[in-house]
Structure 1
């Protein structure tokens, strides 16, 4: 069996795994934003795996659609990394606009190959730069939150994500231009494409091993599935943690890490991670800290004695580093701005 045959078998297996994984995501987790972004990314990867075979030379409308899907993969990966690694539940309008502009540039580039080859250099430059930009942004999301990630399976998958995307960016952003200009043999592209196939195969396998709720969390709109801290307090570590948070208020320290909190409690870090995730229901450490910070902010905003205290001061005192992250966290938790919450709370108390 030749190396080409092995690559084709791996490519076919990867396509089957991506299709199966996407179907399971749609069946079990389609209400989760990160799961929907994962499905879109998988479709892009499938398109790439198809167009990097000999079939990519076809210029039919179907071939154009597959090329468009393959070209959109970097932007789709960025959306997936942004929502999954940061546990985001909504996308900003500017994110969608950026992806739409990127896809439009890919379309212009593909059409230029056929209709105006002399013009293709301009969208191609934008494509190369954008690929590095989306790849770097996605990897930044994967890298920056690794210490605070409380999902062990997801922490391990970050490595595979970095390897897979790094190879993809290398193949499309660096190797292709060099090979097509005669600076390197075509065998290099085959080698990198094969590496991408096997890395993607490993990533899919790791995704199947992990529990669905660990990867994407429980379905939204089911608050009863969240662990009850009142029941979890029977765990000695939970009791110590909650007592320390209430008494010492370490969440006010903007730079607090889970390692530092574990040291304060005299506990092993992995046990603290598992406790915060499984007993208290938080998926990342920032989410856990923000829950305490938001509780403190709510109390201050509803306190008539602090009605003249600026909201920024209250947010900074509670441990938020700046107004932007605080406003986003508060709106996501309460569905209104801090000013609106304060006005409603004071009105209910008869002091509005």
Structure 2
């Protein structure tokens, strides 16, 4: 393929990717129904900026145009990490330090635009990009076992595999050569990025997103006479006997107290495949995360103990450990999130 054809194909890929990412950003920002939508919109903007920044001739752009594009592109490493956190952590909340991290990394790009390329600046940006990519992968894997949403679990696999491969290739290229990528390498880069962006975009906005994005609890089950939407994938109904057996284990045998209880061990106790138990807890009981499901029972027991006058002398730590929490910190955070009070404040109000 001659240079002219390579240039034309590269331009077409970049134009298509920029158009797609701007469209995705607009849709996600407009429909900000969950914490993951806005980070997703900003990641899409960052990908569009990268497609422009990595194009040949970008360095000849006027500085006032080049600087914001470079900042969006470089700071996208932070936004991708935040996107992974918000997508796979139902309790994710924005923090001012997140904005500071983005500003610091984007600031390095601004310095490079103003003062020209510097070896130490390029190395710092490359290492920071790799660091935030690894944080995103760690976040994606951290709660893999506890995630009950099957479509979201499959999306994790794609993001971990494709995202890690793309990042490793990019970092290796930057560290291995100080020269800009050749036309073939640049075209391959755009092709790989377009495929990844296209798949993730389709998963986020091209299919019903209730199973991927949403609140910590799924919507109520539809009425028995409700008709499925055209093109919807029907799933077998949840076995009521499994729900009954599960509730028996949790309320009568109090298995939630067991240290290190996993969904695999619970499925073994019930004698069912793990995927069936996941679907039962997710679709039958409305939970998206296994730990949140367990904490419901632990917190109910802890609240009953804290409100019991006979247990007034019992330390809060003892109550937390008896209910199945491994330490006081996670118990206090879960209790405050569920009740709006600390355990001590709850006890004082209950016993007043």
TM-score > 0.5, shorter chain as reference: yes
Partner of 2:225: none
- For 1:85 and 1:104, the matched residues in 2 are separated by 25
Q: Is contact 2:67–2:113 with CA below 8 Å preserved after alignment?
A: no
Matches within 5 A, 1:262-301: 262-301=267-306
What secondary structure does 1:216 align onto? coil
1:246 and 2:239 equivalent?
Answer: no
TM-score by length of 2: 0.84
Q: Is contact 2:218–2:287 with CA below 8 Å preserved after alignment?
A: no
- For 1:282 and 1:49, the matched residues in 2 are separated by 39
Partner of 1:159: 157
Q: Is contact 1:258–1:269 with CA below 8 Å preserved after alignment?
A: yes
Partner of 1:320: 325
Shift of 1:226: 4.7
- For 1:87 and 1:102, the matched residues in 2 are separated by 22
- For 2:13 and 2:151, the matched residues in 1 are separated by 24
User: 209-218 vs 283-292, which deviates more?
Assistant: 209-218
Partner of 1:38: 40
What secondary structure does 1:254 align onto? coil
Shift of 1:255: 1.4
Unaligned stretches of 5+ in structure 1?
348-352
Correspondent of 1:131 among 129, 137, 145: 129
- For 2:186 and 2:146, the matched residues in 1 are separated by 37
Shift of 1:101: 3.7
Partner of 1:64: 67
- For 2:206 and 2:89, the matched residues in 1 are separated by 21
TM-score by length of 1: 0.84
Q: Considering only aligned residues, what root-mean-square deviation do their CA atoms show, in Å?
A: 2.9
The structure-2 alpha-carbon separation of the partners of 1:8 and 1:245, relative to structure 1 and needing over 3 Å to count, comes to farther
Matches within 5 A, 1:116-195: 117=117, 120-181=118-179, 187-195=184-192
Query: Cα deviation per residue 1:97-148 (whole Å; 9 max; x = unaligned)?
Result: 254144224323432353265xx34443432332222111110111122222
Larger helix proportion of the pair = 1
Partner of 1:235: 240
Correspondent of 2:264 among 243, 247, 259: 259
Q: Is contact 1:25–1:35 with CA below 8 Å preserved after alignment?
A: yes
User: 148-157 vs 208-217, which deviates more?
Assistant: 208-217
Q: Is contact 2:218–2:282 with CA below 8 Å preserved after alignment?
A: no
How many residue pairs were aligned?
A: 334
